[in-house]
């Protein structure tokens, strides 16, 4: 902003304006950090070439920048792009519908449904088990207690399944979950440990209890105060569709109930087993299988689950940095733009088009899966800052701002800068991968001014940059 203005003014006015900006707002020439921040960066012992930084006042000039146009891997900060594109294009009240349907001429006799039950999957990123249970309860209210086959229509998305172990070899980690049009409970199995004080043992269970999944081993009971999180190891073993969690470790009984989440099945297999388990818990029976297929054009809807609105979805995505929800949100954008069946590639193109139409070209952006869980996704700090400025000016400012972690209060920023003079003074999204660290968002200064900060570092010791990031945030708060 400063460079643009001063290029088009006479020499005298240029000098006058530049001097005013430097004195009034501590503006530095591009590529120059204020002395305090330069010292903080020097302590990282990382070359400045590894950093892309853009800091600007909202409604004012760029304060300083380092390599702002160099695309970097932003890690989970990439979620800011996907969630803003979705919010601005679909609106805060957009919701996903999961429908249960039956044939137009279907009959129910003695509780037996004469036709298959169809599930029209919509890509709901927050279809939890309790929501799905309520959906099946609505089916029972129609007098249906026995089903033959269940056909799930996932045609809204294309072949988007991924190998959960392909990113980092940790195939059982929930953050590696594959996207799917019909995800229940993120596709992760919950291993619950409940304390039994009478026998001084930990009782493990699977929630929900599904076919072909069991637990081996035991967690040792410890007496005394709960001074730290349970030290529990869970090894996931899957053979021929049978899953065994081999557990070991120690936990103080005083810590109370705790859980672990693990991936062990494909989204399709997991959803099928959950369907059978929940239906059985509700007292229903099933004579056939759960399989994939299409829905007849004249099928009629008999029950519907509507998701939380998009504003709530992006709040969960950004505050908790949920990868699979973001992946599904990206695909939803593609599907709603008519790119059905949606793919990652077609949906990423839709996002670029949405931003370009708003005057945000995002040159050099590689969105990949939209979540930032990627080695190939890149964006520049200048483009991110431009997008954050547009988001601030938009009618959706409040919903977008509310989706970000509050400094020192919640989300991924809850344990940073918790001092009274800094806590709750910024709304940020952070990101961390091997060789990549980032933070971006809005900071409120003591002057009442608002600032946009985007910091992206790609280096083998990127994790050492956290202190520098916090110093920049604190510096802006002080101004």
**Same domain for 302 and 226?**
no
- Per-residue model confidence (pLDDT) at position 126: 98
Domain boundary among 307, 338, 373: 307
Query: Could you list the residue range(s) of the whole structural domain that residue 257 is in?
Result: 189-261
Alpha carbon distance 470, 129 (integer Å): 38
Predicted confidence (pLDDT) at residue 26 exceeds the cutoff of 80: no
Could you report the per-residue pLDDT of 341-387, keeping only the tens digit for each? 999 999 999 999 999 999 999 999 999 999 999 999 999 999 999 99
Interval 150-160 mean pLDDT: 98
**Same domain for 243 and 384?**
no
**Structure tokens belonging to residue 269:** 């297999």
Q: Is 85 inside any structural domain?
A: yes
19-23, 28-32, 38-42, 168-172: segment of lowest average pLDDT: 19-23
Closest CA to 463 of 440, 430, 423: 430
Kindly report the CATH number assigned to the domain that includes residue 145: 3.50.80.20
Q: Is 232 inside any structural domain?
A: yes
Which run of H or of E encompasses 317? helix 310-320
Domain boundary among 250, 284, 307: 307
**Same domain for 302 and 416?**
no
Domain boundary among 284, 307, 330: 307
Predicted confidence (pLDDT) at residue 12 exceeds the cutoff of 60: no
Closest CA to 234 of 244, 222, 226, 242: 244
DSSP classification of residue 229: -
Alpha carbon distance 125, 326 (integer Å): 8
Interval 264-282 mean pLDDT: 97
**Same domain for 152 and 257?**
no
Q: Is 23 inside any structural domain?
A: no
- Per-residue model confidence (pLDDT) at position 90: 98
| CB contact at 8 A, 187 and 177 | yes
Could you report the per-residue pLDDT of 59-117, keeping only the tens digit for each? 999 999 999 999 999 999 999 999 999 999 999 999 999 999 999 999 999 999 999 99
Q: Is 6 inside any structural domain?
A: no
Do the strands 242-252 and 220-222 form a parallel or antiparallel pair, or are they unpaired? Answer: parallel
Alpha carbon distance 118, 105 (integer Å): 14
Q: How confident is the model at residue 246 (pLDDT cuts 50, 70, 90)?
A: very high
**Same domain for 434 and 316?**
yes
Alpha carbon distance 82, 347 (integer Å): 10
**Same domain for 375 and 456?**
yes
N residues, the chain: 479
**Same domain for 449 and 316?**
yes
Q: Give ∠ CA 306-308-313 in degrees, rounded to 5.
A: 135
Predicted confidence (pLDDT) at residue 2 exceeds the cutoff of 50: no
Question: Scanning the structure block, which residue is given the tokens 């990382």?
Answer: 46
| CB contact at 8 A, 436 and 458 | yes
Predicted confidence (pLDDT) at residue 13 exceeds the cutoff of 50: no
- Per-residue model confidence (pLDDT) at position 208: 86
- Per-residue model confidence (pLDDT) at position 9: 35
Predicted confidence (pLDDT) at residue 10 exceeds the cutoff of 80: no
Q: Give the HSE-up count for residue 461: Cα atoms under 13 Å, Cβ half-sphere.
A: 10
Percent of the chain beyond pLDDT 90?
A: 93
Q: Is 169 inside any structural domain?
A: no
Alpha carbon distance 445, 422 (integer Å): 10
4-18, 126-140, 278-292, 364-378: segment of lowest average pLDDT: 4-18
For 94, residues 6+ apart whose C-beta sits below 8 A from its C-beta are 86, 309, 310
Q: Is 131 inside any structural domain?
A: yes
Question: Scanning the structure block, which residue is given the tokens 């090894």?
Answer: 235
Interval 15-35 mean pLDDT: 48
**Same domain for 297 and 315?**
no
Is-cis flag, bond preceding 235, omega within 30?
no
**Same domain for 227 and 284?**
no
- DSSP sequence for 292-331: E----TT-EEEEEEEPPPHHHHHHHHHHHT-HHHHHHHHH
**Same domain for 283 and 348?**
no
Q: Is 7 inside any structural domain?
A: no
Q: How confident is the model at residue 31 (pLDDT cuts 50, 70, 90)?
A: low
- Per-residue model confidence (pLDDT) at position 32: 84
**Structure tokens belonging to residue 161:** 């399944």
Predicted confidence (pLDDT) at residue 268 exceeds the cutoff of 90: yes
Alpha carbon distance 27, 82 (integer Å): 31
Predicted confidence (pLDDT) at residue 19 exceeds the cutoff of 70: no
Q: How confident is the model at residue 3 (pLDDT cuts 50, 70, 90)?
A: very low
Give the pTM: 0.92
Beta-strand ranges (E) seen in 148-280 are 150-153, 189-196, 201-207, 213-217, 220-222, 231-239, 242-252, 258-262
The total number of structural domains that make up the chain? 3
**Same domain for 65 and 112?**
no
| CB contact at 8 A, 309 and 93 | yes
Closest CA to 174 of 300, 64, 289, 262: 262
Percent of the chain beyond pLDDT 70?
A: 94
Q: What is the mean pLDDT of the chain?
A: 93
Q: Is 172 inside any structural domain?
A: no
- Per-residue model confidence (pLDDT) at position 455: 98
Q: Give ∠ CA 111-113-114 in degrees, rounded to 5.
A: 130
**Same domain for 206 and 331?**
no
């Amino acid at each position: 902003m400063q460079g643009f203005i001063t290029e088009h003014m006479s020499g005298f006015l240029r000098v006058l304006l530049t001097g005013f900006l430097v004195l009034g707002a501590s503006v530095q020439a591009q590529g120059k950090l204020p002395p305090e921040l330069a010292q903080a960066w020097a302590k990282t012992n990382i070359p400045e070439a590894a950093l892309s930084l853009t800091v600007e006042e909202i409604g004012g000039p760029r304060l300083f920048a380092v390599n702002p146009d160099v695309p970097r891997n932003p890690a989970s900060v990439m979620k800011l792009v996907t969630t803003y594109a979705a919010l601005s294009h679909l609106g805060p009240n957009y919701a996903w519908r999961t429908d249960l349907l039956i044939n137009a001429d279907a009959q129910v006799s003695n509780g037996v449904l004469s036709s298959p039950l169809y599930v029209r999957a919509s890509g709901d990123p927050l279809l939890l088990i309790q929501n799905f249970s309520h959906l099946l309860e609505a089916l029972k209210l129609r007098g249906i207690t026995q089903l033959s086959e269940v056909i799930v229509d996932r045609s809204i998305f294309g072949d988007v399944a991924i190998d959960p172990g392909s990113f980092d070899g940790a195939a059982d980690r929930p953050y590696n979950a594959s996207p799917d049009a019909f995800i229940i409970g993120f596709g992760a199995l919950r291993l619950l440990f409940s304390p039994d004080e009478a026998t001084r043992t930990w009782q493990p269970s699977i929630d929900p209890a599904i076919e072909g999944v069991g637990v081996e081993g035991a967690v040792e009971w410890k007496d005394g105060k709960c001074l730290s999180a349970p030290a529990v190891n869970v090894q996931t073993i899957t053979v021929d569709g049978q899953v065994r969690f081999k557990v070991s470790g120690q936990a103080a009984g005083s810590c109370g109930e705790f859980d672990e989440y693990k991936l062990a099945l494909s989204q399709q297999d997991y959803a099928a087993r959950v369907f059978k388990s929940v239906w059985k818990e509700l007292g229903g029976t099933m004579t056939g299988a759960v399989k994939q297929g299409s829905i007849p054009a004249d099928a009629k809807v008999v029950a519907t689950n509507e998701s939380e609105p998009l504003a709530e979805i992006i709040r969960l995505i950004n505050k908790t940095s949920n990868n699979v929800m973001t992946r599904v949100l990206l695909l939803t954008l593609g599907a709603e733009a008519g790119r059905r069946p949606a793919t990652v590639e077609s949906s990423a193109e839709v996002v670029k088009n949405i931003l370009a139409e708003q005057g945000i070209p995002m040159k050099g952006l590689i969105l990949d899966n939209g979540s930032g869980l990627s080695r190939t996704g890149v964006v520049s700090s200048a483009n991110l800052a431009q997008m954050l400025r547009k988001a601030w000016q938009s009618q959706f400012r409040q919903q977008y701002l509310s989706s970000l972690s509050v400094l020192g209060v919640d989300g991924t920023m809850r344990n940073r800068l918790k001092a009274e003079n800094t806590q709750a003074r910024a709304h940020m999204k952070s990101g961390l991968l091997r060789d990549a660290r980032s933070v971006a968002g809005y900071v409120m200064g003591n002057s009442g001014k608002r600032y946009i900060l985007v910091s992206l570092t790609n280096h083998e010791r990127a994790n050492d940059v956290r202190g520098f990031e916090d110093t920049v945030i604190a510096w802006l708060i002080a101004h």
